[in-house]
Amino acid sequence: MTLGLITIELGCDLEVQCAQDTPMLLLMHVHSSRLLDLIGFEQISSEPPSAGTFVLDEEGNRFWRLVAPAGTSTIQLRAHVRDCGLPEPVAPGAPQAPVEELPVQCYPYLRASRYCESDLLAPMAWSLFGATPPGWERVQAICDWVHRRLLFDPSAARSSKTALEAEREGRGVCRDFAHLAVAFCRALNIPARYCTGYMGYTGVEESPEPIDYSGWFEAYLGGCWFTFDARTNQPRIGRVLVGRGRDAADVPILQSFGSHDLNSFRVITIARELEPDQADTTSLGTSSP
């Protein structure tokens, strides 16, 4: 399925409770790679008002840094993003590069990390996928296997769950699907990085679960990074990247440097198809990096 040019309204509302003034990093903003797709400007507000600043890391992730005052704070982000309305690219036959020929920037994504124990899962990975053709076919075989192996179960979510634990338990949420697939890819010398962002139900049947931040991954094949999603296991329309890293530890939605309680959390993703005259006249905005 394909759509015409679409605009996606996205946002996040959260409420936090702090016992004292608490520094925080929030990862809610559109990734720097999608800045040219912004329509107008992102709007972020907090109540009570707190001065915040953007922080850009080496992966292009745009964090909002602020000090939340003692008590209850609400933070709200809204943005509109233009999207081509096409499913994500599929490239069967994309080759896997020999490790010695990889760009140096890929090497961190071959190593085991906090939630992706590729070293411990290596024997299993080679047993399951060692006979598959290297490259795109091997990554897709990993996604197919993880998609069958894990049951999507929001009640099984926990912030400490690793790829190895997800495989043993056989259930989890989108980040667990991504972590397990990433760990298998790295064990097979395929650079893979964890991604998080906004993904609604554009072009697919809606699920009864409320929209949440989604987790997927990218694999380096044929000199490019391609999107894969072991949970949905199909190309999607309107995915909007927020953060990239080794695993979810690098791109938490909220990282506080002190104790806090998250009282409420809501994600918004609404896609609308543009009419031809709207597509011609809609201007793109930029935002602080």
Whether 174 shows a pLDDT value over 70: the answer reads: yes
Report pLDDT for 2: 61
Q: Cis omega before residue 134 (within 30°)?
A: no
Q: Which has more confidence, 20 or 278?
A: 20
Same domain as 268, residue 192: no
Residues 231 and 260 in one domain: no
Domain with residue 172: its CATH number is: 3.10.620.30
Measured CA distances, 223 to 37, 97, 98, 226 (Å): 24, 8, 11, 10
Q: How far, in Å, are 34, 115, 190, 233 from residue 88 at the CA level?
A: 15, 26, 20, 12
Report for 181-190, 206-215, 279-288: range of highest mean pLDDT:
181-190
pLDDT of residue 282: 36
Q: Are residues 69 and 110 in the same domain?
A: no
**Amino acid letter, 5:** L
**Does residue 72 sit in the same domain as residue 196?**
no
**Partners of 176 in the β-ladder:** none
pLDDT score for 286: 30
pLDDT for 21-63, tens place per residue? 999 999 999 999 999 999 999 999 999 998 889 999 999 999 9
15 forms bridges with which residues in the sheet? 74, 264
- Do the domain assignments include residue 282? no
In a domain, 257, yes or no: yes
Helix (H, G, I), strand (E, B) or coil at 132: coil
Tell whether 39 and 154 lie within a shared domain: no
Please name the helix (run of DSSP H) or strand (run of DSSP E) that holds residue 67, with its range, or none. strand 62-68
Place of tokens 């290297």: 134
Mean pLDDT of the chain: 92
User: Do residue 59 and residue 28 come from a single domain?
Assistant: yes
Judgement on whether residues 182 and 159 belong to the same structural domain of the protein: yes
pLDDT at 163 over 90: yes
Reported as a pLDDT band with limits 50, 70 and 90, residue 276 is: low
Residue 92 included in any domain: no
Q: 113 and 240 share a domain?
A: yes
Q: What is the pLDDT of residue 141?
A: 98
Beta-strand pair 240-245/192-198 = antiparallel
Q: What does the pLDDT read at residue 212?
A: 84
Q: Is the pLDDT of residue 135 over 80?
A: yes
Beta carbons of 248 and 179 less than 8 angstroms apart: yes
Domain assignment of residue 193, given as a range: 99-245
The pLDDT tens digits of the residues spanning 67-100 come to 999 999 999 999 999 999 999 999 999 999 999 9
In a domain, 265, yes or no: yes
- Lowest-pLDDT range of 177-181, 204-208, 211-215: 204-208
- Residue 211, pLDDT > 90, answer no
| CB neighbourhood size of 137 (10 A) | 15
Residue 280 has pLDDT above 80, yes or no: no
Residue 203: which pLDDT band, with cuts at 50, 70 and 90?
Answer: confident
Instruction: Report the CATH number that the domain containing residue 78 is assigned in CATH.
Output: 2.60.40.2250
Any domain includes 195 = yes
Split into its structural domains, the chain has a count of 2
Does 131 fall in a domain? yes
- Residue 210 has a pLDDT of 73
Q: Are residues 103 and 191 in the same domain?
A: yes
Q: Are residues 234 and 137 in the same domain?
A: yes
pLDDT at position 205 is 83
The answer as to whether 20 is a domain residue is yes
